[in-house]
Amino acid sequence: MLSLLVANSVRLMQTSLTRQAQANMAQIAPLLNASLAAPLIQRDYETLGDILRESRHKDGVAYLVLFDNDHRIVAAEGWETGQPLPAIDTSLNDDDEDSLNRFDTEIPIRLAGQTYGHLRFGVSTEFFSLSRRLLLKQSILIVLAEVGLSIILLALLGYWLTRHLKMLTKGAEEVASGDFNITLPVHSDDEIGRLTTAFNFMTANIRADIQALRAGGELQLRYLMAAEQEHARLDSLLSAMNIGILFVSPENQVVYLNPAFLQIWRIRGETAGLIGKPLDDPIFSAAPQIPDPDGLAGLLSLGRGNPEGRIEIETDTGCIITQQNYPVRAHDGHLVGYLALYEDITQERHAARQLIYLAERDSLTGLYNRHRFQEELGRMMDEARRREVQGALLFFDLDEFKYINDTFGHNAGDTILMRVAGDVGALVRRHETFSRLGGDEFAILMPNSSEKEAQDLADQVVRAIAQIPFAFEGQQLRLTSSLGIAYYPQHAATAEELIAHADAAMYQAKEAGKNAWRVYREDLDASRAMIQRLSWNERIDHALENHLLELHFQGIYHAGDCTLSHLEALVRMKDKDQPGRLLMPASFIPIAEKTGKILDIDRWVIRTAIAQLAASPQVPSIAVNISGRSFDEPSLPDHIADLLREHGVAPQRLLVELTETAAVSDMQDAQRFIDALRHTGCRVCLDDFGSGFASFAYLKHIHVDILKIDGIFIRDLPRDRDNQLFVKAIVDVARGMGKITVAEFVEDQEILDMLKSFGVDQVQGYHLDKPCAAHPALFGSHAARLP
């Protein structure tokens, strides 16, 4: 009976140990599977070896051998790979010698339901065998020592042992079911107690490992999500760019490209479908935009051969595309590929060319404007001096063109100007320069030409213009011109002199009866008027250089209550010979317009007025007069904006006045100039309104803020009914178009009262105040100076 009890105790112990070993291996298997699956898939053999070495030192593992799906050994620890592996044990009771000390088994390595390999490993059972033998020895000793008490002692021992083994068995079953949060109480220090302690230690390690795996998995998941989000943002950004992006490997295989790249080169296909293709693939070489016979690969080679990595490509379709190459290297310096950026600059290049064209061309006729004419004139004279050859300047205008404009309207005048530009332009040779200087004035530069060539061309020009048909209301009218010729260096040493002498020759042709041409003759130019003109030109230069210009200010008042609206700046010149004498604009402005000095005067007036606005913040605004020649200065509005910013003056405080005659004689240039001024924030006034024949017809095309009625309609207003009707009409039209009206030359109360009754908004004249340098408004007094 005692033997049966001992045998039963051994059996129970064997059963418990077997379950514990099975539970242990059941826990080891998923941990090994979890830790080996990812590196096995990634073929990270170094990591697999590290995991096997670490696993062998835990949980009594004797050896580990990892196979892939092709049954090749991927990694091994604790076993010679050349030796055959032991047979797989089915239980701990196998009788072979190895099974007494080790349990051999095999598990599949799976991830997401797919098997990637197998792991063979052996778990040492020496501890279990030792425990079994020790228990058997103790039982035999008890039998021998206490035979008499064997039944009682064996019963107590069996109870004691089975009670603890049952606790261990239950704990092992809970662990096997996946509950690792279990800790068994330790009741003794014997083998069962030590086994319980080992069991608790094992479950704690498993629990810690599982928590670490979970934390690592969550961290990897967060990193993966963040990387995917960043990739999505970057892909959206690159896809939205107008710059084409191409990244290729060192072997010229496409790694990345964005939709803009396909659009620029007109390549058909989706970006995803082109990744991985070589650049010599037909889908790239067939793109119609790629001019290089070697396709994209050839273009990239050209870019790499350029020291700056940048080339411009002109396609067969006329597009201009820039390519910028960048080699891409890893942190260790080795080349990982090439980045190429492509941008279609066709529109920008065309816009730049158009800006250059507009800056140097007359908008109506397409001829060179005055600015480009001045440049070409200087270039011709420099070339003539260097090569010691002769040049000629032909200067002509249309006879009675102002009459045509005023009688038949500016549309008819524009048509004639364009016809003159076309017919005369056909006579001008390629190396000669044909320009429209403004209004009906034209000039032809003839570098390196003889006197006979210049005179022949002059005769052809006069005859060609005389043959231009012009009919009105069934009547055929004759168009004529007057042309003057001046030679360099015979007639002038400077550009200004050459222009003045060609202009003088043109007037000599007019005095000869018009419809003619004349070569400049000094004897005919010795008139007092011409001497005075040249003298005035010198005096203007002297005044500009020696600060002899000054501004006088006259108030412009609200008609209703005669309070100050703004000031008008009027330029005066100090006489260099009589310092106390002031010269009126009529003495020097016409000469300045002829010689081009008016542009310098305009800039001085603008600069001085803006400085005065900065010094007198109490002044609402100041109006300045600008010559029609300024239309040829496209940079003037930007210059005005720079001065306003420099002095800290609000643009609304500067009002720019342009004469109606200048505006409507060069409508397109004038409107472009006015739009540029208004874009800076300045207001624009059309001065002398009503002096032109077609004022009302053109008013809707000129976007100004203020209309200043010409004084010829105001001086005799109470006694001239026609003028009254005209002023009323101007006021009604201006009010309907949202424009302010100003009446100048208000010289008595009767005129002022009549203008009020007509609804004129603002008034100006000697009845209110006279121009002076120290206007009271500059010093804080805004009161109207009424009698």
- Which pLDDT score is estimated for 339? 87
Of 293, 312, 344, which marks where a domain is finished? Answer: 344
Looking at per-residue confidence, does 170 or 776 come out higher? 776
Q: Element (H or E) spanning 752, and its range?
A: helix 749-758
Q: Confidence class of residue 127 from pLDDT cuts 50, 70 and 90? A: low
Looking at the domain assignment, is residue 223 inside a domain?
Answer: no
**Mean pLDDT, residues 652-658:** 94
**Mean pLDDT, residues 580-605:** 86
Is the whole-model pTM more than 0.85? no
The residue assigned the tokens 């080996």 is 36
Q: What's the domain range around 752?
A: 539-779
- Which pLDDT score is estimated for 530? 52
Looking at the domain assignment, is residue 785 inside a domain?
Answer: no
**Mean pLDDT, residues 269-277:** 75
Asked whether the predicted pLDDT for residue 173 surpasses 60, the reply is yes
Residues 588 and 726 in one domain: yes
Give CA–CA dist 416/273, Å, rounded.
61
Asked whether the predicted pLDDT for residue 372 surpasses 80, the reply is yes
Q: Dump pLDDT digits (tens) for 49-78.
A: 888 888 877 667 888 898 988 888 888 888
Task: Estimate the crossing angle of helix 598-615 against helix 585-595, to 10 degrees.
Answer: 120
With the CA atoms of 691, 714, 627 and 649 taken in that order, what torsion angle do they form, in degrees rounded to the nearest 10? -140
In three-state form (DSSP H/G/I as H, E/B as E, the rest C), the secondary structure along 505-536 is: HHHHHHHCCCCEEEECCCCCCCCHHHHHHHHH
**Mean pLDDT, residues 68-97:** 78
Tell how strand 481-488 and strand 516-519 pair up: parallel
Total count of domains within the chain: 4
Looking at the domain assignment, is residue 660 inside a domain?
Answer: yes
Of 503, 526, 549, which marks where a domain is finished? Answer: 526
CA distances, 392 to each of 305, 424, 523 (Å): 49, 16, 19
Residues 246 and 270 in one domain: yes
Q: Dump pLDDT digits (tens) for 621-651.
A: 999 998 887 777 888 999 999 999 999 999 9
**Mean pLDDT, residues 11-30:** 72
Q: What CATH number corresponds to the domain at position 375?
A: 3.30.70.270
- Which pLDDT score is estimated for 787? 42
Q: Confidence class of residue 529 from pLDDT cuts 50, 70 and 90? A: low
Residues 690 and 651 in one domain: yes
Residues 41 and 93 in one domain: yes
Residues 286 and 386 in one domain: no
Quote the mean pLDDT of the chain: 83
Looking at the domain assignment, is residue 229 inside a domain?
Answer: no
**Mean pLDDT, residues 491-499:** 91
**Mean pLDDT, residues 566-571:** 95
Reference 161, options 3, 287, 5, 322; nearest CA is: 5
Looking at the domain assignment, is residue 224 inside a domain?
Answer: no
Residues 624 and 510 in one domain: no
Looking at the domain assignment, is residue 661 inside a domain?
Answer: yes
Q: Is 544 exposed, middle or buried (0-12, 13-18, 19+ CB in 10 A)?
A: middle
Residues 75 and 177 in one domain: yes
- Which pLDDT score is estimated for 587? 80
Asked whether the predicted pLDDT for residue 532 surpasses 80, the reply is no
Q: Can you say whether the dihedral through the CA atoms of 774, 780, 782, 785 is positive or negative?
A: negative
Residues 432 and 509 in one domain: yes
Looking at the domain assignment, is residue 787 inside a domain?
Answer: no
- Which pLDDT score is estimated for 718? 92
Looking at the domain assignment, is residue 220 inside a domain?
Answer: no
Residues 336 and 368 in one domain: no
Of 173-187, 564-578, 715-729, the least confident: 173-187
Give CA–CA dist 88/118, Å, rounded.
13
- Which pLDDT score is estimated for 786? 45
Q: What CATH number corresponds to the domain at position 315?
A: 3.30.450.20
Distance of CA 249 to the CA centre of its chain: 29
Asked whether the predicted pLDDT for residue 306 surpasses 70, the reply is no
**Mean pLDDT, residues 770-774:** 93
Residues 663 and 611 in one domain: yes
Q: What CATH number corresponds to the domain at position 649?
A: 3.20.20.450
Count other Cβ atoms within 10 Å, centred on residue 519: 21
Residues 306 and 376 in one domain: no
Residues 606 and 465 in one domain: no
In three-state form (DSSP H/G/I as H, E/B as E, the rest C), the secondary structure along 169-195 is: HHHHHHHHCCCCCCCCCCCCCCHHHHH
- Which pLDDT score is estimated for 84? 87
Q: Dump pLDDT digits (tens) for 176-235.
A: 777 777 788 887 777 777 888 888 888 888 888 888 888 888 888 888 888 878 877 877
Tokens of 585: 């604009």
* Residue 63 β-bridge partners: 122
DSSP-derived secondary structure letter, 277: -
Asked whether the predicted pLDDT for residue 598 surpasses 60, the reply is yes
Tokens of 535: 């003298």
DSSP-derived secondary structure letter, 84: P
Reference 377, options 500, 473, 483, 464; nearest CA is: 500
- Which pLDDT score is estimated for 728? 93
Asked whether the predicted pLDDT for residue 693 surpasses 50, the reply is no
Q: Confidence class of residue 148 from pLDDT cuts 50, 70 and 90? A: low
Q: Confidence class of residue 783 from pLDDT cuts 50, 70 and 90? A: very low
**Mean pLDDT, residues 725-740:** 90
